Amino acid sequence: VQADGTDGNCITFVLHDEDHTLGNSLRYMVMKNPEVEFCGYCITHPSESKINFRIQTRGALPAVEPFRKGLNDLMGVCQHVLNTFE
């Protein structure tokens, strides 16, 4: 993961070897945070397996915090689905 951005409230994370599967579900989890003003992702080119994932927060909250929380929440949901399936 690379993080590009001059302001701590607005950062673009570059996620390598990922696609819409992670991008869309992570975007959903991050947008549940009321401090997040914008969250979106794009795939740079179909032949590249990386996504640009951008987060912009409203206040003094650094953008890395909702990113980290979104990843942790998504792992929890996936673990619950796996446990239910088993």
10-85 is classed CATH 3.40.50.620: no
pTM of the predicted structure, to 2 decimals: 0.86
Domain regions of the chain by residue span:
10-85
The per-residue b/e assignment along 67-81, b for 16 or more CB within 10 angstroms, e otherwise, is beebeebbeeeeeee
In tens, the pLDDT along 15-48 reads: 999 989 999 999 999 999 999 999 999 998 988 8
In tens, the pLDDT along 59-78 reads: 789 999 999 999 999 999 99
